[in-house]
Structure 1
Amino acid sequence: MITNTELERKGDLYPLNIIDVKREGDSVFFYAENAVILKLTVFRDSLIRFRFTTKGYFNNDFSYAIDENHSRGFNKLELEEDADFYKVITSKIVCHVSKKDLRHSIYDLDGNAILEDELGFHWEEIYEYGGNVVKMSKVSKDGESFYGLGDKATHLNLKGKRLENWATDQYAFSKDQEPLYKSVPFYIGLRDKGAYGVFFDNTFRSFFDFSQERKNVTSFWADGGEMNYYFFYGPNMQDVVTSYTDLTGKPELPPLWALGYHQCKWSYYPESKVKEVASKFRELQIPCDGIYLDIDYMDGFRCFTWNKEYFPDPKKMVADLAEDGFKTIVIIDPGIKIDTDYSVYNEGIANDYFCKRADGPLMKGKVWPGECNFPDYTNPLVREWWAELFKELIADIGVKGVWNDMNEPAVMEVPNKTFPMDVRHDYDGNPCSHRKAHNIYGTQMARATYEGVKRFSYPKRPFVITRSAYSGAQRYTSSWTGDNVASWEHLWIANIQMQRMSLSGMGFTGSDIGGFAEQPTGELYARWIQLGVFHPFCRTHSSGHHGEQEPWAFDENVVDITRKFVNLRYQLLPYLYTMFWQYIDEGIPMLKPLVYYDQEDSQTHYRTDEFIFGNQILVCPILEPNSKGRRLYIPRGNWYNYWTNELVSGGKEIWVDTDYDQIPLFVKEGAIIPKYPVQQYVGELDFDELTLDVYFKNGKETSVVYEDAQDGYDYTKGRFSLRTFKMTGKENELIVTQHKEGKFITPYTKFKINLLALPFGIDSIQIDNEDVNIADLKLNNDNTLTINKDFSEIHIKGN
């Protein structure tokens, strides 16, 4: 027998000796003699939950992060007993649980260790808070890599890092600064080229140490709550990410306009300034769909009000902007001004909707309006009240989206930048202090906002964006990375943050293009635009305190570059929309770091700059000033230079020359890339053909194009169009087949097909087994042909 005394290290306590084991349905309970219980639940054959308690019973099982619609069900669950451990066996993995101390290790079916406990679960009594710090440590192998954890401002590979999850208003944060605005306690481990994932679903302040303190140990711990984590087995990183995204949920499709370009500043006012900015975009022919109103549109920063001096008739202004294709998005913060002449404040007081201190009085803090109270968004009654407050903004005035800021929650003029820890929260009937609710406060605000915007936007789709988020927030909202800086270092950070957010289940994310704090040079702004158009959320935003940051605030070169790349984004909208559909349908990240794209290639494990946009476009931004090119890594396979159509074989690092108005872009051979004509805003043009750029491959490749009505919910009833194109290329032959699903009839009738890098001259063309006159297809010298969109097979023969 072993005792606590033998195992204590620095005051830590450990489970002792299993005395009983029970199987109940999909769970196995392991009871230790010192009141520790491990509940091991098999969600799927490759997804296991480990939940510990140290007091002999479990509290109510409740999580804001887990999507109630996630997939469950397994093929096999067997429990076996050996001399020193129990074995829990599924059809994918085997878990050993030590009889001595509940330490557990997970193996694949060939007996290879995937993840093993080092000290395993242990805890420390913290009498200051009357609870435990819960801890877990795992063995980390030499060469193991780690990814994930949301928008951390550090290297993509987290090996050797220690990181903290505590949502914090970090204005002008710096590289490696911790913590930031979001808490996403999910990481991916890559060991021996096999991937697994860990999601530590604990909303208290938490920490992750990836072999920084001890070389071959990875650990995570939290200042309270349970040791409650999920283990995902790959072995492909894609399986880990899609499984985590399924568990924590996926969004609905955004309206297509939300994927256009957006313009924002702190702040556009009065109305004449807003209209001036909007008209300048149209004058310069730079596409733009969204324009944002920051806090100055309000009356004294009171949420849900308008400053009538600046905006005498907001409904007319919003309608005028809409007439020109602009959707208006307004900011809403959580702080409600203490003002007895203010109806929102009075309703909150009358119904007891505001957060309170432990000894009774309302939580009071200073933000933009001055002294404020703060709604408790963890109370379902408060969320319902909050949702109803959007009726006037959305249904009456016509605002199309809402931007939630300051929802970490941020409080000014206090050292910890947020609520006191004794503030109480309802937590959906599981009352707790702010220590537990802090990290999910912003998510629950965004959830309440989403429910309101959706209710009053219907039958159109809502658009919400949040600064603070916890795992699962992606079900309700898009996000951005907060108050960054106009610097080259922050351009590098933004590139990594977007890749990391995509891996962490929150795909619909962007950075403030050009930087929020300080003022970019024209060159920096141009390079940021060239990156930002390849991020799912694309918005320029600045503090406005150091000068203007619209594209025309710089020289004509920058205007031209902005137009060129925003035009490219609008051409690629059907490709981007298809990426988004694959994200919500299958949980596939929209941006793929090279390690995700090809984890078998160890050269990718520390790459940070290059990423795959969707499935078939390689983007490598220019991240340094005065660059006429750069070195980059081309992943394995063959890729066409987007600008020259030159074919490059991958699996190696190359130098690419590039002009000021370009960045290195490559398209995977065999890809079929859909393009719309350039529009100044989504829905501006009625067009009769969709362009398909067909990149020849000697071999086979599949591409898909998803389309629907671009807004509304008919797509959920089968009214969508999903086209699957299969290319087969040979030395003197090209065959493209099309398979169609869905009931949506696209408004265009033709495809304009660009046959790129065809290695032969065209002798004959058959469409659906019928010879066609090449002249009838408008085939010209650059191998472009126009055909009916409903073809099943194109067969091209050459010489």
Structure 2
Amino acid sequence: MILNTQLEYKGDLFPATIKTYKKDVDVLHFSTTNNVILQLTVLRDSVLRFRYTTVGKFENDFSYAIDENASRGYNHLEISDDDEKYIVTTSKLICHIYKSDLRKSIFDAKDKSLICEDEKGFHWEESYELGGDIVKMSKAAQNGESYYGLGDKPNHLNLKGKRFENWATDSYAYGKDTDPIYKAIPFYTALHDNKSYGIFFDNTFKTYFDFCHERRNVTSFWAQGGEMNYYFIYGPKMIDVVSNYTDLTGTPELPPLWALGYHQCKWSYYPESNVKEITSKFRELNIPCDAIYLDIDYMDGFRCFTWNKDYFPDPKRMVKELADDGFKTVAIIDPGIKIDMDYDVFREGLEKDYFCKRADGPYMKGKVWPGECYFPDFTRPEVRKWWAGLFKELIEDIGVKGVWNDMNEPAVMDVPGKTFPNDVRHDYDGNPCSHRKAHNIYGMQMARATYHGLKKFNYPKRPFVITRSAYSGTQRYTSTWMGDNVASWEHLQIANIQAQRLALSGFSFAGSDIGGFAEQPNGELYARWIQLGVFHPFCRTHSSGDHGDQEPWAFDDDITNIVRKFIEIRYQLLPYLYTAFHQYSQDNVPMLKSLVLFDQDDSQTHYRTDEFVCGNQLLICPVNEPNAKGRRMYIPKGEWYNFWTNELVLGGKETWVDADLDSMPIFVKAGAIIPKYPVQQYVGEKSIDELTLDVYYKHGKEDSELYEDANDGFDYKKGRYSLRKFNLSGNDNKLVIRIHKRGKYETPYETFKFNLIGLPFKVKSIKVDNEYIDLKDVKFNGDNSLVLSKGFTNLQIKG
């Protein structure tokens, strides 16, 4: 028997003829003569849910992935039928369901073009080895169709021609072809004929996806248990598919602004003198840094929620002294709890029966860093509440500001599968199941419990959590990183692909271990990796520490200076990055955009991997080869300014860009208004007296945004934020900027400094809110900069 191939139809079972149909508001039920039921739910005009059962009834409808605040509601729903099919019509989609076999075809309601159609459609294999069904779905691939998504897969951005497995796995020193790795995000987007749709297969068992790998014209997905339960999400713009999926599975609250700063980590900084030595060196060399990490060696024998008093005799004092110097302390917490009756966390978990058990009764025992451990069942609400409560001392008393969840795939040492046996039992929030079902969400539920602990004990400040393992929806609670990568040029490319792919998969707050975790980078590789890393939402250097040092000064002075220069650029761009995070959090817009996401109409973008857009208006392309003096890159259609030279470039073609080691290709979209802070050593070091706005002239129109609030806390949810929308419009002798502001937050600065870049005319007059201003009153000078009070709504600059 072949358990993990979709397209082996021998022995597969298929739905028979539809015998009954009924409608219950927005849920349609189609039942066949062989007991298969298709439940079609119309969530939105462009979002349909398909759910199948082969036994005549459905299990309890429960999902960890779906956000309780996901949008619902449609404008139009109509059902009709003819001899051959049922026809379900919304304002965006037409879905045909064929009476003979339950197969489906989905069309664009506007132009009636085919978007997606079943090949064999839903079918299943009765697996007596697994004791249940392997549920399968196969679809006909359309001409020229491309596929993207699936979370942290390290291979080429376009998934076409490949097959993947989703099973969260501890993958130390993985390569570009390693599969599976740490995350299981069963969502992909497809693109053909300039139309994009998405499929989210909400099944937490081991799932597989085949993108025309086994058969050239068939794409398929299947699972070793559970339901065939998937969401079809239509664009036709890919950005709308991604934002609708992200709406479905949720977005995080805003992080504290410091979490978008630069972070420094190593396995391990200890004792206290070593931590202080590192943080002092950052300040001495004027290299901005906001967070210092403590890996497992800060604990007493790797027991979670304890401190090694030999290394850290007074952690509360140390954490405060670090905070006084601008450093937030982030501590690691793993799921494995050491079996030790003298250890109160273990004893309490045992007394309350909070640990995972095997099917026949005993506790699940596994070896991790502390030795033999038991593992909490985070799928029980009372266990999550208990776990959250354990953070009181660490967060409220000692003052740690962030928590890093590692080893939560869950990882277990010295066993073949590197994880729990399949027969381990989980509560699954009142839907008891085996580890086969709960494995992929174990890390998610640990991160959820951690998040609630930090939210409670760090209140009124915002929590910051980072996780290694994740399932769809985990982005609601936490940031993530790509796990134990390698200090190699190939891994620099992989980090770029993974960050883009995670953003495409609803998980923007992500970054790699800059410089590589395993092995040792040379200075050139580290500098090139910093250049990429400062444009990822999560920006952290981390290394295994056993091959030497990996701090910004660990190489020569030239490298240190390059690293400082790029970290300073990140700190200048914090208001831009924070605005992008606001757009992600509120509007479900990914913070990084692969070129295909940025401009799907341009077929040149469909296989581009290196270039991406950070936010909406910065084009980034890392240099990922040694000894390079520049590189070829594709610049998307439109006009772009070279960030370094302000030279205007016309896109839509591949071009050579110079980039010595102290530079990298960065371009700014014409018409953009980019907000900048002064360089700070850490967030909040300086009061911002004036905000710089770099204005890139465009003949035409462009919109930009600037979101600001108190940078921490939850007052922004009560309307205390400032959102400025800039509408820029330019022609041969005039530039007009209109500003619309909403929100009750008053920014601390009073003035904007406008840097006018690329003006094709010499400025002769300036009008503010329809009144002419004397040029010397706005400090206008020959370098095209002017200073204005922040309250105006209309600026006109004429030649």
Report the TM-score, using the length of structure 2 for normalisation. Answer: 0.99
For the residues of structure 2 that align with 1:34 and 1:797, how far apart are their CA atoms? 75
Q: Offset of 1:9 from its aligned partner?
A: 2.9
Aligned equivalent of 1:625: 626
What corresponds to 2:742 in structure 1? 741
Q: SS at the partner of 2:764?
A: strand
In the alignment, which residue of structure 2 is the partner of 1:763?
Answer: 764
Match of 2:604, SS state, is helix
1:275-322, Cα deviation, whole Å (9 max, x unpaired): 100000001101000000000000000000000000000000000000
- Aligned equivalent of 1:302: 303
Match of 1:4 in 2: none
3-state SS, counterpart of residue 551 of structure 1: coil
Q: How far 1:129 moved relative to its partner?
A: 2.0
Match status 1:379 vs 2:380: yes
1:716 maps to 717
2:605 is the counterpart of 1:604: yes
- In the TM superposition, what is the alpha-carbon distance from 1:687 to its structure 2 partner? 2.3
Gaps of 5+ in 1: 1-6
Aligned to 2:44: 44
Name the counterpart of 2:62. 62
Percent identity at matched positions?
A: 71
Which residue matches 1:390? 391
Residue 234 of structure 1 pairs with residue 225 of structure 2: no
Residues 637, 651 of structure 1: 8 Å contact kept: yes
The size of the alignment, in residue pairs, is 792
- The residue correspondences of 1:514-593 to structure 2 (distance < 5 A) are 514-593=515-594
Per-residue CA deviations over 1:112-144 (Å, capped at 9, x if unaligned) read 111100000000011122101000000002310
Provide the rounded CA distance (Å) in 1 between the counterparts of 2:738 and 2:35: 63
Equivalents in 2 of 1:100, 1:726: separation in Å?
55
Measure, in 2, the Cα distance between the counterparts of 1:703 and 1:175: 36
Q: For the Cα contact (< 8 Å) 1:37–1:57, is it kept in 2?
A: yes
Q: Does 1:16 align with 2:5?
A: no
Following the alignment from structure 1 to structure 2, what is the Cα–Cα distance between the partners of residues 469 and 79?
Answer: 38
Shift of 1:777: 1.5
Matches within 5 A, 1:37-116: 37-109=37-109, 110-116=111-117
Name the residue aligned to 2:751. Answer: 750
Question: Aligned residue for 1:313?
Answer: 314
CA distance in 2, matches of 1:89, 1:692: 47
Task: Find the residue that maps to 2:796 and give its secondary structure.
Answer: strand
How far apart are 1:794 and its partner, in Å? Answer: 1.3
1:444 offset after TM fit, Å? Answer: 0.2
Q: Distance in 2 between matches of 1:772 and 1:193?
A: 48
1:470 Cα deviation (Å)? 0.1
Partner residue in 2 for 1:207: 208
- Deviation (angstroms), 1:50: 0.2
1:504 aligns with 2:505: yes
CA contact (8 A) 1:8 1:14 kept: no
Instruction: Tell me how far apart the structure 2 counterparts of residues 197 and 115 of structure 1 sit (CA, whole Å).
Output: 10
Farther off after superposition, 762-771 or 226-235: 762-771
Inter-partner Cα distance in structure 1 for 2:248 and 2:371: 40
Alpha-carbon distance in 2 for matches of 1:78, 1:757: 53
Q: Distance in 2 between matches of 1:383 and 1:400?
A: 20
Contact 1:39/1:52 (CA < 8 Å) preserved in 2? yes
Q: Aligned AA for 1:16?
A: A
* Shift of residue 111, structure 1, vs aligned partner: 2.2
Following TM superposition, by how much is the alpha carbon of 1:507 offset from its aligned partner in structure 2, in angstroms? 0.5
Give the deviation of 1:791 after TM superposition.
Answer: 1.3
Give the stretch that moved more between structures: 787-796 or 148-157: 787-796
SS at match of 1:558: helix
SS in 2 for 1:552: coil
Q: What is the CA deviation profile of residues 456-489 of structure 1, one whole-angstrom value per residue up to 9, with x for unaligned ones?
A: 0100000000000000000000000000000000
Aligned residue in 2 for 1:219 = 220
1:453-532 paired onto structure 2 within 5 Å? 453-532=454-533
C-alpha deviation, 1:8, in angstroms: 9.7
Equivalent position SS for 1:265: coil
Asked if 1:421 is matched to 2:422, the reply is yes
Alpha-carbon distance in structure 2 between the residues aligned to 1:551 and 1:230: 45
> Aligned partners of 1:191, 1:258: CA distance in 2, in Å?
38
Is structure 2 residue 119 aligned with structure 1 residue 124?
no
Q: Tell me what 1:639 maps to.
A: 640
Q: Is the 8 A contact 1:595 1:607 kept in 2?
A: yes
Q: What is the alpha-carbon distance in structure 2 between the residues aligned to residue 447 and residue 466 of structure 1?
A: 10
Q: Residue type matched to 1:63 in 2?
A: S
Structure 1 residue 78, shift from structure 2 partner = 1.5
Deviation at 1:772, TM superposition (A): 1.4
Q: In the alignment, is the contact (CA less than 8 A) between 1:671 and 1:695 conserved in 2?
A: yes
Aligned to 2:31: 31
Q: Does 1:661 align with 2:662?
A: yes
Structure 2 counterpart of 1:251:
252
Deviations 1:653-685 (A, max 9, x none): 101111210000000001000000000000000
Structure 2 unaligned regions, length at least 5: 1-6
Check if 1:689 corresponds to 2:705: no
Match of 1:3 in 2: none
* Residue 156 of structure 1: aligned partner: 157
- String of CA shifts for 1:3-58, please: whole Å, max 9, x gaps: xxxx9932100001111001011111000111110000000010000000000100
1:288 aligned to 2:273? Answer: no
Superposed CA deviations along residues 156-189 of structure 1, whole A, max 9, x for unmatched, are: 0000010110000000001111001000000000
Does structure 2 retain, via aligned residues, the 8 Å contact 1:93–1:107?
Answer: yes
Q: Distance in 1 between matches of 2:484 and 2:244?
A: 31
Q: Counterpart amino acid of 2:54?
A: T
CA distance in 1, matches of 2:268, 2:8: 56
Which residue identity lines up with residue 56 of structure 2 in the other structure? G
Aligned counterparts of 1:643 and 1:704: Cα–Cα separation in 2? 22
1-side partners of 2:384 and 2:51: how far apart? Answer: 29
TM-score when normalising by structure 1: 0.99
Measure the CA separation in 2 of the matches of 1:361 and 1:353. Answer: 12
